[in-house]
Structure 1
């Protein structure tokens, strides 16, 4: 809907150029999506129309919930009229490039690593638990974005919850490491980008008087991870190419 409420989204910025040559350089944080989905496609129409957006509001019984000006705009608006423009687009950075860079750097350190081609998705806690249960002696690197079903009132973010879930999954096992990081340096409403945990992190949290499982259930991963000195605090990176997860477990 939002792409049809903007003067620049859904190709309208490109339409304003009228003619000539245009190049779009894109930094993508949308895992597995077409370029038109990034920032609602200022230079790349999706193919939908304002009438389609109006239909979405109608199908979800939201026509009476939005301002009258929104409905009036969608009723009158037309798709972007793009003229004779020679347009080229290029994704210059995304999560897969970040994952490849991580694998390359690990290789330079003589650490075997592989980039997992499947995008990271699903619920953060379940995805992290599943990943940590399947780790091997080759570092697995994934990129994408998970979701959270927040029911508690604690402090944290999806990567911190994923890291804490990983710490629980690895607890007391063979040597292992799991990292869950936001590439923009900001995970949830906190100053942490995420965390790096090991097979000993959950025990360290317990020794500090906290229950990692209770903290996870309360969506309160930040204090638990802080108690284990597991948080990664980089400050804002200035860009966002989704999340980056990495994990390793000693074979045998």
Structure 2
């Protein structure tokens, strides 16, 4: 591993994530917040604790609150707020219990009262009241994750099986007003798809949901099939929404960090949405084409790739993307590819993503690992761990998709 190059990668990751932390974004959004009666706070998602902490710091107090976020994402107490941790990407009993606390908090509010609803990516699993038995919902979620369905397809299904998604949480808050601040983790920022849109009218249809179930051959119990045929709320009159933070800002921050290190940034896309290993192979090919051209270049791609599970290994989409670039980089000097999730977690691992350079493939071979067999077994985590290629940031408190960077000298 080239230590200087790895240091550059780590600096770019740190600067990029620091630029999209939700604190300032929440403060900006609250400039338009002027409640008349009581204010209660509900925050859901991977960035829920950070958003709630910033909001209470600005407001000074709230008349009660509930935070539900991913395990190990609560960083301390927040005055007046109950902080809960729960399962992600598959909802668990703690997801359901925390959501029930939120529903109890908003019950009985008056028209002059306001629910400050802070939403970030990951809310689809964390904020949940299933309309079918929990084990059936967990099984359907696992099927969707394994199928390679994208986030929009997954949420089109999940919101119809839920008592809070697809605008139903806003209905539960009525007659109180809902002031929603949303940190986007979906390409194009479709509000009804971010965390499955608990406070947004649903634009998807029953027909689309049924088509997705057929496309991925989902095994659905009778009750779930019937729910897919029931329409979700198409209009809400008690909601004001402010969207803040997105993958575009993450890419802009990455470009600024690259420029500060002497690289000329080139934004390839902020809507990357293909198979993770295909994205990695493509970025590796871009590096191979431009290596040795006499310029320091940084190719940036933001978005959210997908992984089709074909093996039983450990990893995440960013680790797979990085590992898939290794063969194209083999033998090149001063070139690397790295990819990270802005929330600091990549799949069911403790890593945010992965890093490879021209020395990675040879190091893997020396460790007895073949890149292609490893990808087939979805075991990028252990392969990158063996060669020092994991990127660990810890939970960041934000969640605005992923960014992949290819550095070329």
Counterpart for residue 121 of structure 2: none
Q: How far apart are the structure 2 equivalents of 1:83 and 1:155?
A: 42
RMSD over aligned Cα, in angstroms?
Answer: 3.0
Please list, as runs of the form range in 1=range in 2, the aligned pairs for 1:41-120 lying within 5 A after superposition: 41-48=197-204, 52=207, 65-68=220-223, 70=224, 79-80=232-233, 82=235, 84-85=237-238, 87-120=239-272
Counterpart for residue 240 of structure 1: 399
Q: How far apart are the structure 1 equivalents of 2:219 and 2:323?
A: 42
The alpha-carbon deviation at position 247 of structure 1 amounts to 0.6
Task: Rate the CA distance shift 1:138–1:66 in 2: closer, same or farther, 3 A.
Answer: same
Counterpart for residue 115 of structure 2: none
Structure with more contact order per residue of length (Cα contacts < 8 Å, sep ≥ 6): 1
Q: How far apart are the structure 1 equivalents of 2:368 and 2:286?
A: 29
TM-score normalised per structure 2: 0.53
The alpha-carbon deviation at position 219 of structure 1 amounts to 2.2
2:279 is the alignment partner of 1:124: no
- Shifted more, 130-139 versus 108-117: the winner is 108-117
Q: How far apart are the structure 2 equivalents of 1:83 and 1:121?
A: 30
TM-score normalised per structure 1: 0.82
Cα deviation per residue 1:187-206 (whole Å; 9 max; x = unaligned)?
Answer: 22221111111111111222
The alpha-carbon deviation at position 116 of structure 1 amounts to 2.8
The alpha-carbon deviation at position 62 of structure 1 amounts to 8.6
Gaps of 5+ in 1: none
**119, 130, 148: which one aligns with 2:307:** 148
The alpha-carbon deviation at position 169 of structure 1 amounts to 1.3
Task: Rate the CA distance shift 1:62–1:189 in 2: closer, same or farther, 3 A.
Answer: closer
Gaps of 5+ in 2: 1-156, 291-295
- Shifted more, 118-127 versus 108-117: the winner is 108-117
Counterpart for residue 7 of structure 1: 163
State the aligned residue count. 246
Please list, as runs of the form range in 1=range in 2, the aligned pairs for 1:158-173 lying within 5 A after superposition: 158-173=317-332
Q: How far apart are the structure 2 equivalents of 1:72 and 1:92?
A: 35
The alpha-carbon deviation at position 53 of structure 1 amounts to 7.4
The alpha-carbon deviation at position 67 of structure 1 amounts to 4.7
Secondary structure in 2 aligned to 1:36? coil
The alpha-carbon deviation at position 161 of structure 1 amounts to 1.6
The alpha-carbon deviation at position 231 of structure 1 amounts to 0.7
Task: Rate the CA distance shift 1:24–1:98 in 2: closer, same or farther, 3 A.
Answer: same
The alpha-carbon deviation at position 16 of structure 1 amounts to 4.0
The alpha-carbon deviation at position 229 of structure 1 amounts to 0.8
Q: How far apart are the structure 2 equivalents of 1:64 and 1:233?
A: 36
2:194 is the alignment partner of 1:35: no
Secondary structure in 1 aligned to 2:192? helix
Secondary structure in 2 aligned to 1:100? helix
- Shifted more, 176-185 versus 153-162: the winner is 153-162
Q: How far apart are the structure 2 equivalents of 1:132 and 1:232?
A: 18
